[in-house]
Amino acid sequence: MPSSLRFLTAARRCEIDDLQHLAQTAVLVRVCARLIHELQRERGVSNLYLGSGGARFVGARSVQLAETDRVLAELRTAFESLDARPEGVPQGSRLFSRLAYAFQGLDALPTLRARIDALAWDTERATNAYIRLVSAWLAVVFEAADRASDPEVSRLLVALFNLMQGKEFAGQERACGAALFSAGRADGMRRQRLLHLIESQERCLQVFADFAGPASAAQLRQNLAPDMAAELERMRRLVAGSADGDTLDTALSLPWFEHCTVRMDAMKQIEDQLAEELLALCERRTAAARAELQDHLDISGQLDTGTGSTAFFDAPEAPPANQHGMGPRLEGSILELVQAQARRLQTMADELDTARASLNERKLIERAKGLLMAHRQLSEDEAHKTLRTMAMNQNRRLVDVAEALLSMAAVLPPRT
């Protein structure tokens, strides 16, 4: 077999390998999504428990803790197989590093629960602890989305990540609003934070809609727009329209919480569907790639190797991709096959870039935080708060502030 044909086959085999890795990733992402959902529920019921001074929601919380633990056990089992053979995960250092951090969070979960049991932490501190835990696991899903090498799978992972991130913003909105209504008093900082959470949420859901395809997007809109949603919007407006020190109806605290929960559960439905769709897509793509490899092997023996001809020098370097892929009846030379594959991979790379571009926003924010940390000797939390405050004060999106900051990097003096 000439080298060119062997490498053509190798390229196909690599694609299949990559798709198999993606299928494995999809299984892990599904269980991450489930864990995050349980942690969000645990955060919610723990806040209710703390808010009641430990008097109520004891049973509901204990049911929820057991449910989280059940999913946690599943997650540990799922990750054990990955754990066993790191060499099977190409360029996996970032993914594993995220996982190491995320598992650190899980190790600390019993302590967090004990603090809540003992009413030693207030709602805000407990909320922040759960936010950090969830954020560590969302970072794992982000990394998985950023690594995907197949454009279709990448699009779906980007959609799923944004839905999950949007749902987490909804969860933070629930906690923030519940704190406002419980306190019975409007508070400028919290109000601004709530509005920011709503805006961030909507941006995530927009990216989700862009990448998930019209059916899922329509279904989410339908899920989010029943009568309950109108009531939530009314309560959101109460907060948005309040001025510092205004009285808020404490009786709205629980309805607010419940309406937000309904909203999150509606998102969860689509999330589950998307996670299943992701798995099915990986399997479909792998099966298709295998079939194509077989076709390729079947026909490649019968092809004109092109040796002795000057086709290489005369042919267009890479003709536009054959829209119908490489069917079993394809005729012609190896050169045509090679060119068709090159064009197909180029198209895939372009599509992949498009899907990944939407992840860059988050990366810019991370980088701007890094810059603040290095130049101002801030912790990550402080850096994030600084960015958020800048964004709120300037009424700009976080990513715009991050970008402006990065573009000024060259002129920022290092602080000693």
Q: Rule CB under 8 A: which of 3-62 touch its own copies?
A: 3-15, 17-18
Binding-residue pattern over the window 277 to 296 for its own copies, x denoting contact by CB under 8 A: --------------------
Rule CB under 8 A: choose which of 306, 358, 359, 402 binds its own copies. 306
Nearest distance from C-beta of residue 348 to its own copies, angstroms: 9
Binding-residue pattern over the window 307 to 326 for its own copies, x denoting contact by CB under 8 A: xxxxxxx--xxxxx------
Instruction: Dig out the tokens for 357 from the structure.
Output: 């571009």
Instruction: Dig out the tokens for 103 from the structure.
Output: 């598992």
Contact 281, 156 (CB under 8 A): yes
**Residues of this chain, 223-252, that bind its own copies according to CB under 8 A:** none
Give the nearer residue to its own copies in terms of CB position, either 100 or 119.
100
Three-class DSSP category at 346: helix
Rule CB under 8 A: choose which of 53, 55, 66, 93 binds its own copies. 93
Contact 200, 169 (CB under 8 A): yes
What is the Cα–Cα distance from 286 to 22, expressed in whole angstroms?
9
Per CB under 8 A, does 407 bind its own copies?
Answer: no
Per CB under 8 A, does 414 bind its own copies?
Answer: no
What is the Cα–Cα distance from 326 to 294, expressed in whole angstroms?
11
Contact 170, 260 (CB under 8 A): yes
**Residues of this chain, 248-267, that bind its own copies according to CB under 8 A:** none
**Residues of this chain, 180-209, that bind its own copies according to CB under 8 A:** none
Give the nearer residue to its own copies in terms of CB position, either 96 or 242.
96
- CA end-to-end span of the chain, whole Å? 63
Rule CB under 8 A: choose which of 163, 220, 338, 390 binds its own copies. 338
Rule CB under 8 A: choose which of 261, 339, 358, 386 binds its own copies. 339
Give the nearer residue to its own copies in terms of CB position, either 60 or 335.
335
Instruction: Dig out the tokens for 361 from the structure.
Output: 């926003």
What is the Cα–Cα distance from 257 to 182, expressed in whole angstroms?
11
Rule CB under 8 A: choose which of 69, 199, 361, 382 binds its own copies. 382
Task: Phi first, then psi: give them for residue 185, nearest 5 degrees.
Answer: -145, 130
Rule CB under 8 A: choose which of 52, 56, 62, 94 binds its own copies. 94
Task: Phi first, then psi: give them for residue 198, nearest 5 degrees.
Answer: -65, -45
**Residues 167, 171, 173, 174: what is their CA dihedral angle, to the nearest 10 degrees?**
130
Contact 207, 158 (CB under 8 A): yes
Rule CB under 8 A: choose which of 132, 221, 237, 385 binds its own copies. 132
